[in-house]
C-alpha cells in the first residue's frame, strides 16, 4: 500500500469545489457516467485498432444505491486503470492547474461551474461524498488497484483482488447530500442527463412477462423473469442516418423526447454535418398557430449524447427557439461546468448552418408536396415570419417558401403574387400596391370594395405582420403594402382616371364644415372624396402609418410616440345622396342628427360603436321606426 498527497499546494481545494458547485451539485452523476462512457468507448477503439487484445462483449454501466451503507456506486466494463495510470490521471493531471484555478475562481462565486476544467470531472464526486473509493482493473495484464480519498489532499493506493476489467467508483454520501440515496432521485437524474447515453446504463432490475408458447394450455399463466432495467436508449434517432428512418420513427422519437406532448409534430428537420464542425440533431415543428410564447418544451443540447442544457440561445437562431428537438455537438464551446455557452466564431457558424438547413427544408417541403405545405401553413407561419424579420440570410431565401394567403383561400409565393397584381394594382406612380386584411370579418366591407375592382387581398393576421411589412417594403423595389381599411380604395391605389364631382368647391367647404362641427375633431379627420355615388356615404379608415406604429407598440416595439391616441379618418363620399341631403338640410339639429347617424353606422361597420354610444344608437334607430 502507498499513501501520498494529491498534487495541489492549497489544502482547501475540496471545500472550494463544493462551494462553487453547490448550486449544481447534482451533475456529479453526469460527470461520473460520462467518465465511465469514455472508458468504455476508448476500449472499443483500442480493440478496433488492435492495441487491446480482449473481448469487448456487451458492456454496460451499472449504478447502484446501498441505503444501509449510504453509498452510490458507478461501475463500468471499460479499459480500467493501472496503478501508474491512477497516479497520473487521478492524482496529478486533475490538479495540474490547481493554482491557476484557485487564482481564477476563489473570488468568482458568481461563476458556479468548474467541472471539466483541469480534469476536475471526477472530483465532482466530492460535492456529495465525504469519501470516495476507486476499484479498477486495467485491460492490460496488471494487478487491480484500490484508491481511497476522504476529501483531503491525502489518498491511499493499494492492490486489490478485483478480477473483472473496468472501474467501480464508490461514493460515501455526506450527511448534507442524503437526498441522492433515493432511488427516485437517481433515476430522475439518469433520465435527465443520460437518457440517450452511448453505453447502456443498468439501474436495478425489472420484471418482464414472457410470451406464452403457441401450444400453451388455455389456463396456462405466462412466466415472469427478472431482467436488467436499462434506463437509456443508446441509439437515439439523431445518431442514425436519415435514410434509415421512417416518419413513424421520427414520431416515436418525438414522443420519447416529450412524453407529455400528445400532439404530433408537423414535420422535422434532420441535421447532420461533419465539416467545418460536428453537429447532428433533429428539430421538430410543433403546431404553433399565432403563438409566440412556446416555452415549456425547449430544444435540448447534448454533447456526445450527454444532456447539457435546454438553454440554447446563441446556438439556435432566435426564430427557431419556437421549435422542439435535439442538437448534439462535441464542438460547441461551453464553460467549464458545461452549463453556459461561450460566445465564439464556431457558435455563429453553427447558428448559420441551422438557419440554412431550415431554409433548405422549407424549399424541399413546398416542392415535394405543396398541398400538404399549404395545409400546414397557419401552424408554421409564425416561425417563417420571425425568421424573415430577424435573419437576413433566411429572408433572402424566403421567396421560395413564404406563402401569402389571400382572403379567397389561395396561397401564393412572392413571384405568383406579383404576377397576379402587376396589371391591376400598379398605381399612377408605377408602385405595386399589395392590399391585405388582418381580420376578414371586421374588414369585410373594405375587402368586398377591393374585390369589386378585381384586386387581390391578402390575409396577413399574425402578430409579426407590422415588422414583416416593414422588412418587405425596405428590401423590395416599388412595393408598398396597405391594409384595406387604411383609406378608401381609390386612395390606396391611385389611378390616372378622371374624377367627376357633383359638388362645387363652395358646397364642399360648407359640407366639410358642417360635419367637422358635428363630430369629435380630436378623433376624426374629415376627408371629402369624389367617389362613385353608390359607394358608402361615410366610412372610417385608420392611417396606415399610425396603425403600424400602434401595432408595433402593442408588440413591445419602440414607444417614442408615447401612447397613441385613437385617431381615424372619416371619409365622406361627396358624390353620395347623403352628402347632398346634409347640404340641403337647413335645421341645424336635424343636420347634426343625420351626420351623427351616418357616423354611428360607419363606426358600427368597424366594430367601433360600443358602450353608451351603441346604446344611444339602438334607441335612436328604434324611435325612427315608429
Answer whether 0.95 is exceeded by the pTM: no
Q: State the Cα–Cα distance between residues 379 and 382, nearest whole angstrom.
A: 7
Instruction: For residue 245, give Cα distances in angstroms to 197, 240, 251, 280, 329.
Output: 20, 8, 10, 15, 21
The pLDDT of residue 146: 96
Within the chain, what is the greatest distance between any pair of CA atoms? 118
Q: State the Cα–Cα distance between residues 246 and 255, nearest whole angstrom.
A: 15
Give pLDDT tens digits for 590-614.
888 888 888 898 888 878 888 888 8
The pLDDT of residue 319: 87
Preceding omega of 526 cis (within 30 degrees of 0):
no
The pLDDT of residue 337: 46
Identify the CA nearest to 172 among candidates 185, 184, 181. 181
Secondary structure class of 294 (helix, strand, coil): coil
Rounded to the nearest angstrom, the gap between the alpha carbon of residue 406 and the centroid of all alpha carbons in its chain is 28
The pLDDT of residue 115: 41
Strands 411-412 and 404-405: antiparallel
Give pLDDT tens digits for 238-250.
999 999 999 999 9
Q: Percent of the chain scored above 70 by pLDDT?
A: 85
Copy the grid coordinates of residue 306: 450527454
38 close to 46: Cβ distance less than 8 angstroms: no
The pLDDT of residue 336: 43
Q: Tell me which residues of the chain have a pLDDT lower than 50.
A: 9-10, 21-22, 96-99, 101-102, 105, 108-118, 336-338, 558-562
Amino acid at each position: 500500500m502507498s499513501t501520498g498527497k494529491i498534487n495541489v499546494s492549497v489544502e482547501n481545494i475540496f471545500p472550494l469545489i463544493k462551494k462553487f458547485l453547490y448550486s449544481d451539485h447534482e451533475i456529479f452523476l453526469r460527470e461520473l457516467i460520462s467518465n465511465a462512457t469514455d472508458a468504455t468507448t476508448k476500449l472499443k477503439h483500442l480493440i478496433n485498432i488492435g492495441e487491446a487484445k480482449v473481448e469487448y462483449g456487451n458492456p454496460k454501466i451499472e449504478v447502484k444505491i446501498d441505503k444501509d451503507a449510504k453509498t452510490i456506486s458507478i461501475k463500468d466494463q471499460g479499459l480500467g486503470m493501472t496503478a501508474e495510470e491512477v497516479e497520473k490521471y487521478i492524482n496529478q493531471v486533475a490538479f495540474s492547474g490547481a493554482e491557476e484555478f484557485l487564482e481564477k475562481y476563489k473570488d468568482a462565486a458568481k461563476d458556479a461551474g468548474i467541472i471539466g476544467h483541469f480534469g476536475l470531472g471526477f472530483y465532482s464526486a466530492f460535492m456529495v461524498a465525504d469519501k470516495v473509493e476507486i476499484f479498477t482493473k486495467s485491460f492490460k495484464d496488471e494487478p487491480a488497484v484500490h484508491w481511497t480519498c476522504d476529501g483531503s489532499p491525502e489518498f491511499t493506493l493499494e492492490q486489490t483482488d478485483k478480477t473483472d476489467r473496468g472501474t467501480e467508483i464508490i461514493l460515501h454520501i455526506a450527511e448534507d447530500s442524503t437526498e441522492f440515496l433515493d432511488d427516485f432521485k437517481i433515476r430522475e437524474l439518469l433520465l435527465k442527463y443520460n437518457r440517450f447515453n452511448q453505453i447502456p446504463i443498468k439501474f436495478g432490475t425489472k420484471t418482464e412477462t414472457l410470451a406464452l408458447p403457441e401450444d400453451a394450455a388455455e389456463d396456462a399463466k405466462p412466466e415472469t423473469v427478472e431482467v436488467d432495467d436499462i434506463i437509456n436508449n443508446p441509439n437515439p434517432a439523431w445518431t442514425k442516418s436519415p435514410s434509415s428512418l421512417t416518419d413513424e420513427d421520427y414520431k416515436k422519437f418525438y414522443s420519447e423526447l416529450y412524453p407529455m406532448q400528445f400532439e404530433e409534430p408537423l414535420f422535422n428537420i434532420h441535421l447532420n454535418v461533419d465539416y467545418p464542425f460536428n453537429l447532428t440533431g433533429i428539430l421538430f415543428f410543433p403546431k404553433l398557430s399565432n403563438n409566440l410564447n412556446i416555452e415549456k418544451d425547449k430544444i435540448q443540447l447534448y454533447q456526445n449524447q450527454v444532456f447539457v442544457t435546454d438553454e440554447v440561445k446563441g446556438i439556435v437562431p432566435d426564430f427557431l427557439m419556437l421549435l422542439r428537438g435535439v442538437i448534439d455537438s462535441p464542438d460547441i464551446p461551453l464553460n467549464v461546468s458545461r452549463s453556459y455557452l461561450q460566445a465564439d466564431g464556431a457558435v455563429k457558424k453553427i447558428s448559420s448552418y441551422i438557419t440554412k438547413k431550415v431554409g433548405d427544408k422549407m424549399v424541399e417541403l413546398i416542392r415535394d408536396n405543396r398541398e400538404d405545405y399549404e395545409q400546414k401553413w397557419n401552424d408554421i407561419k409564425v416561425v417563417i415570419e420571425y425568421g424573415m424579420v430577424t435573419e437576413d440570410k433566411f429572408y433572402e431565401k424566403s421567396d421560395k417558401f413564404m406563402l401569402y394567403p389571400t382572403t379567397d383561400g389561395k396561397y401564393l409565393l412572392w413571384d405568383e403574387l406579383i404576377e397576379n397584381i402587376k396589371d391591376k394594382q400598379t398605381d399612377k406612380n408605377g408602385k405595386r400596391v399589395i392590399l391585405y386584411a388582418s381580420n376578414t370579418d371586421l374588414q369585410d366591407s373594405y375587402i368586398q370594395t377591393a374585390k369589386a375592382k378585381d384586386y387581390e387581398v391578402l390575409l396577413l393576421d399574425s402578430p409579426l405582420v407590422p415588422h414583416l411589412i416593414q422588412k418587405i417594403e425596405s428590401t423590395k423595389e416599388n412595393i408598398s403594402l396597405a391594409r384595406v381599411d387604411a383609406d378608401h380604395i381609390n386612395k390606396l391605389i391611385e389611378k390616372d382616371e378622371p374624377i367627376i364631382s357633383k359638388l362645387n368647391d363652395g358646397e364642399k367647404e360648407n359640407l366639410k364644415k358642417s360635419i367637422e362641427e358635428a363630430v369629435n375633431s380630436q378623433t376624426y379627420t374629415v376627408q371629402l372624396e369624389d367617389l362613385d355615388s353608390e359607394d358608402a356615404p361615410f366610412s372610417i379608415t385608420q392611417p396606415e402609418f399610425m396603425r403600424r406604429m400602434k401595432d408595433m407598440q402593442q408588440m413591445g416595439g419602440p414607444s417614442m410616440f408615447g401612447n397613441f391616441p385613437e385617431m381615424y379618418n372619416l371619409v365622406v363620399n361627396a358624390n353620395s345622396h347623403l352628402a347632398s341631403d346634409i347640404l340641403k338640410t337647413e335645421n341645424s339639429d336635424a343636420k347634426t342628427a343625420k351626420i351623427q347617424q351616418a357616423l354611428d353606422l360607419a363606426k358600427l361597420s368597424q366594430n367601433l360603436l360600443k358602450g353608451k354610444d351603441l346604446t344611444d344608437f339602438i334607441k335612436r334607430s328604434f324611435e325612427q321606426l315608429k
